[in-house]
Amino acid sequence: MGQIESAILSSFRAGILAIRSDGTVSFINPIGAKILEGCSIREGENIHLRAGENVFFRSLSEAISMSYLPTRVETELPGGTGNGRTSGSPWRN
Classify residue 81: in a domain, yes or no: yes
- Residues across the chain: 93
Classify residue 9: in a domain, yes or no: yes
Total number of domains constituting the chain: 1
Q: Is residue 93 predicted with pLDDT exceeding 50?
A: no
Q: Is residue 2 predicted with pLDDT exceeding 60?
A: yes
Classify residue 32: in a domain, yes or no: yes
E strand intervals along 1-93:
17-19, 25-28, 72-77, 85-90
pTM: 0.72
Classify residue 67: in a domain, yes or no: yes
From the list 85, 89, 90, the residue with the least C-alpha distance to 39 is: 85
Classify residue 92: in a domain, yes or no: no
| Whether 28 contacts 20, CB under 8 Å | no
Whole domain around residue 81: which residue ranges? Answer: 3-85
Q: Is residue 54 predicted with pLDDT exceeding 50?
A: yes
Is 74 or 10 the better-scoring residue by pLDDT? 10
pLDDT tens, 11-53?
A: 888 888 889 989 999 999 998 888 888 778 889 999 999 999 8
CATH of the domain at 42: 3.30.450.20
